[in-house]
Structure formats: C-alpha cells, structure tokens
Amino acid sequence: MWIDVQTKMEETQIPSTTITTDFLRDMGFCQPSMGMILGTGFGRFSEMLEVEARVKYNDIPGFPVSTVAEHAGYLVSARHGKTRLVIMQGRIHRYEGYSPEQVTFPVRIMHQLGARTLFVTNAAGGLNRFFQVGDLMSIVDHIDMMGGDPPPSIGPPDFRSGPVYDEELRIVLADVAAKSGMTLRSGVLSSMLGPSFETPAEIAMLRRFGADAVSMSTVPEVVVASQLNMRIAGVSCISNMCVGDEPSPIKHEDVAVVVNDAIDRFSLLMTGMLEEINL
Ligand code: HPA
C-alpha cells in the first residue's frame, strides 16, 4: 500500500528524493550506515568526528532550511573509525511552520543514501522529578502530542508502531555509560508542537500520561524512520526542569547553553556506542 512514496511526494509538492540524493552523492555523501540528527546545542558533536563533506541546507535541492538560532543548518558526512554517518547539524521543527512531510524529508534522504540506523538527539524539559538539569536520557519510547503523525499524505495510513527504539542499541548505550561511570537516565519522551513552553496544566498532564521529558521535536522524524524500518536510538539532554507552578523562566538560548555543557559526556557515549556496534 505504501510503496509509491515518490509519486505521493510529487503530488504533495515534496521534492523528489532522487534529485536530492544524486546531488549529495556528487558532493561526497557516500553510503552512510547511520543517520544522525543533532538538536539544539548538540551541533558541536559533528566537529569531533572526521568530517568528509559539509553542505549548507540552503544549497541542497529540496531541503527545508532551519531558521532557529543554535541550529547551524549543515548536512555533514563524517566518519568515526569505520562508521560513516550522515549528520543533520541543526534540525527543522514543525513550529517553524514546516509540514510533517518537510520536517521528515531529511530522514528519507538519509535512508535513500543508505543509512539503516537513525540516532536522534534533542534538548528536553525534565518531567521526572528524579532528573536533574544536564542529565542525558536514553529514549525508551515516545508519546506523540504534536499531532499530524505519521505524515498523512505520504505515510502508510494503516501503520502501527510496535516498539520503536531499538532495545539492543539502548543496552549498548547503558553499558557504555556504566563503563565510563556516567549517569544515563532512561525514559519516555513526549513531544509538543511549541514553540511556547508548557503551561502548568500541560506539565501535570504529561506527567500523568507517563512522560519523563518533553521536547518540541524528534517524534515526526522517528515515526518516518520507523515506517522505513530503520533501527532507532536517541538521547535527550535535560536542559531545564518543568517546574509547573510558576511561569517558566526558561528561554531557548538557555537550553543551548546547558546542552553545550553536556556535549563532552554525550560525545563519550556516542563514540563508545559506535565502537561497540561496529556498523
Ligand atoms: N518543553 C518543551 N521542549 C523543550 C523544553 C521544555 O521545557 N526544554 C527544551 N525543549
């Protein structure tokens, strides 16, 4: 039922993935085994790898352009040892006005380039009262509060998610963290459309629903990757705690500062995982 994605994309005016992947292959993006999306404050991670090619989103045919500060807007081809990654340095959000199809277009490109694993990162507000600002959280599952998922015009209408986040990858992440003496939380991520931060009532609702953290991204990309049968893992950085009983003092700039401070720990975790899984 969901084979003719290309025709659907043309009908809905989403550019052809073939034009984009051909362009990227010409620019040196060859056979990545993993796609990675670096959210707010995580961008610096790609500079810790061996970068092979780097193109601005504006220069890639069909690519949506990130308009948010702290989202550099580069697609990067990089290696760590034998593993080649295609990395979004900065993501596209629904709250920038992009449709689910546009936000998830880069995931289709990563898949078409050859990536069969997707690693997602984001900054998130902490809902679990045991969490602390700066904690890293391995994503166990998600609650989609953003709506519009899966992308209605392209995705399979009868798609049902089983477990989405790969258990083996989660175990590897936990092992790497334990070996390096690092605290790695695990929990359920919820997604809100944003860009406003949550009201006290929304925070109370999300907690009751069983969410441990809340972000304004990630779920659309993960849904599409899961439809494409990719292995998925992800880490959130708790950039603020959702207090709930007072107006949130948090600003988007503050979020990036906290994540930046966690980047060395994230890097240790990520490179340890790449060495372990040997893609
Ligand atoms: N809410 C939603 N998204 C976020 C938050 C938050 O408190 N912090 C970082 N991203």
| Pocket test residue of 255, 257, 259, 260 for ligand 1, highest count of atoms within 8 A of CB | 255
Distance from the alpha carbon of residue 278 to the mean position of ligand 1, in angstroms:
33
Residue 150: predicted pLDDT: 57
For the structural domain made of 5-277, what CATH number should be given?
A: 3.40.50.1580
Residue 149 has what pLDDT?
62
**Overall average pLDDT of the 196-218 stretch:** 94
Whether pLDDT at 220 is above 90: yes
Confidence of residue 132 (pLDDT cuts 50, 70, 90): very high
pLDDT in tens, 156-203: 666 667 789 999 999 999 999 999 999 999 999 999 999 988 999 999
Any ligand 1 atom below 6 A from CB of 123:
yes
pLDDT band at residue 155, thresholds of 50, 70 and 90? low
For the chain, give the mean pLDDT.
88
Evaluate: CB of 198 within 6 angstroms of ligand 1.
yes
Q: Whose CA is nearest to atom 2 of ligand 1?
A: 215
Query: pLDDT per residue over 233-256, tens digit each?
Result: 999 999 999 986 655 567 777 888
Which residue of 40, 70, 133, 239 sits with most ligand 1 atoms within 8 Å of its CB, as the best mutation to test the pocket? 239
The dihedrals phi and psi of 133, each to the nearest 5 degrees, come to -60, 135
Q: How far apart are CA 86 and CA 31, in angstroms?
A: 9
| Pocket of ligand 1 contains residue 269 by CB under 6 Å | no
Q: What is the pLDDT of residue 257?
A: 87
CA atoms 266, 185, 173, 225: torsion sign: negative
Q: 4: burial class by Cβ within 10 Å (0-12, 13-18, 19+)?
A: exposed
Question: What confidence tens digit (pLDDT) does each residue in 3-21 have?
Answer: 344 444 444 455 678 999 9
pLDDT given for residue 37 in this prediction: 97
- Close Cβ partners of 258 (under 8 Å, ≥ 6 residues apart): 41, 123, 133, 134, 237, 238, 239, 240
Q: Does any ligand 1 atom lie closer than 6 A to the CB of residue 190?
A: no
What pLDDT shows up at residue 229? 92
CA distance linking residue 233 with residue 169, whole number of Å: 6
Distance 202 CA to ligand 1 centre (A): 12
* Nearest-angstrom CA–CA distance, 63 and 57: 6
Distance of CA 67 from the midpoint of ligand 1 (Å): 18
Residue nearest to atom 7 of ligand 1 (CA): 125
The full set of domain ranges for the chain reads 5-277
pLDDT at 247: 53
Q: What is the mean pLDDT of residues 258-266?
A: 92
pLDDT recorded at residue 31: 93
- Alpha carbons 99 and 101: distance in angstroms, whole number: 5
CA of 215 from ligand 1 middle (Å) equals 5
The pLDDT of residue 67: 73
Q: Which of 35-39, 169-173, 204-208, 224-228 has the lowest mean pLDDT?
A: 224-228
With a 6 A CB cut-off, is 125 part of the ligand 1 pocket? yes
pLDDT digits (tens, 9 = 90+) for 71-110: 679 999 999 999 999 999 998 999 998 888 899 999 999 9
- Residues above pLDDT 90, as percent of the chain: 69
